[in-house]
Structure 1
C-alpha cells in the first residue's frame, strides 16, 4: 500500500480495486488447483469448480461496476477493463460455464445430463449469493472512498429507456453472443478466448447508448 501513497487519490482507488480483482482471480485459481487434486467424485468436482468460477466472475463484476461509475467520463478505460477481465476469465475458468444460460443451452443440445446441469445451476446460484455478501463485507472495510457499507445491493429497475428498445438490445446481444459460442467451438482455444473477449467488449460498447452515459452489467 505504501507504493500507492504518491499517486493521486482517484488513481490509488483504481489501483486498489484492480488489486482486489486480481487477488480474487489468484485465490480462485489456487482453490481450483486444490479442488482438482483432492476431489475425485465427478458431481462434487463439477459443483466446486462451477462455484469458484461464478464467485470469481461475480466479485469482479461488482468491482468493475464500481469502477465504471467512477470513470463514467472515460468509457475507453472501462471498455479496456472489460476486455482484459473477459480475457482473464476466459483463460482461468476453462471447463466451467459461470452462466445459467450456457448450462441450459448445453442441456438442450444434449451436452449435459439434467442431473449435471442441475448441480451446476445450483452451484451458480449459491456462489452468486456468497459473492454478494463477501463483496459487501469487503466494501465495508472502506479500502477506497467508494467502498462503503451503505452501498446497496437491492434489486432495482435498470431500464432507463423504452422497454421495446431494451428488449431488442438485450435480445440482439444475447443472440450474437450465444451464436458466437456455437460457431467458435472449432476455433483454437487461445484464439477463441480473444475473439469472445473482443465480442463481449463490443457488445458492452454497443449497449452504452441505451441510455447514454450509463453502463450496467
Structure 2
C-alpha cells in the first residue's frame, strides 16, 4: 500500500502529461474541421493546415521528451510512446508534411510549386517557434512536478558524438525515412501508418543516443531553440543541412543512380 502511494504522484503526473498531448491533438482536429468548412482559399487552407500539423508535432514531441526523461531506466516506455504518438500523428495529420525536408522532397520531384513550398516552410517555422513558447507557458503553470517554465529556455545538447558523425546520423535517418515515405505510397493507408510509426521508433532507438535522431529541421528548432542560439553553426549543419543532404542523396539515388545502374546492367546482358 505504501508503495502504491509512493507511485501515485508519478502516475498522476504521467496522466496529466499524456492528457495535455491528447488535448492538443483533439484541439487541432477540431480546428482542422472548422478550417475545412470555413476556409476555401487553397493558399490559406494549405498554410493553416501546415501550421496546425507542425504545431501538434512539435508540442507533443516537447512534452514527450520531457516525459521520457522521467524514466531513463526504462527506455521501452519512451519508445512505446514514440510509436503511439507517431501513429496518432499519422492518422490525424493527413495531407501535411510537418517537416521542411518533406516539402523539399515534393518540390524537387515536381509535386509542389516553389511558391507553395515557401509558404508551407514559413508555416512550419512559425508553428515550431509558437509551439515552444506555448508549451513554455504551460510548463510555468506547474501542472506536474517536472513542469518548470525555466526548462524551456535551457539548452540540452542532444549531440553525443563529434560533428562529422552527427551529420552522417541525421543524413542517414532522413534518407531512410523519406525513402520509405516515398515508396510506401502504394501500401494501404492503415498498414502504411503502422510501418512508418515502426520505422520512426526504430530510427529513434538507433540514433537517439547519438543525435536525438530528429531528421526534421522544424522540430529540431522547436526542441533545441536555445542551442541554436548558443551554437548556431553546429546545429544548423547537423539538424538543417544534414537532413536536407539526406533528401538530396535519396532523390539522386532513386531518380538517377539506380536507373542508370539498371540500364547498364540490361545493356551488358544484351551484349
Task: With the length of structure 1 as denominator, give the TM-score of the two structures.
Answer: 0.91
Give the structure 2 partner of residue 40 of structure 1.
40
By how many angstroms is 1:163 displaced? 2.5
Alignment of 1:23-172 (within 5 A): 23-155=23-155, 157-172=157-172
State the shift of 1:197 in Å.
0.3
Tell me the residue number matched to 1:18.
18
Q: Deviations over 1:112-131 (max 9, x none)?
A: 01111111111111111111
Q: CA deviation at 1:153?
A: 3.2
Contact 2:57 2:89 in 1 (8 A): yes
Instruction: Check the 8 A contact 1:180/1:196 in 2, yes or no.
Output: yes
- Write the distance in 1 (CA, Å) between the matches of 2:162 and 2:150: 30
- Counterparts of 1:196-215 in structure 2, within 5 Å, are 196-210=196-210
After superposition, the CA RMSD in angstroms is 1.8
Structure 1 residues 86-95 or 115-124, which shifts more? Answer: 115-124
Asked which structure has the greater CA Rg, the reply is 2
CA distance in 1, matches of 2:142, 2:151: 11
Deviation track 1:182-210 (CA, whole Å, cap 9, x = no partner) reads: 11011111111110000000001112443
Structure 2 residue ranges without an equivalent (≥5): 215-271
Question: Moved runs in structure 1, 4+ residues, more than 6 A?
Answer: none
Q: How many residues align?
A: 210
Question: CA–CA distance in 2 between the matches of 1:131 and 1:205?
Answer: 25
Between the aligned partners of 2:154 and 2:109, the Cα distance in structure 1 is: 35
Q: Which has the higher helix share?
A: 2
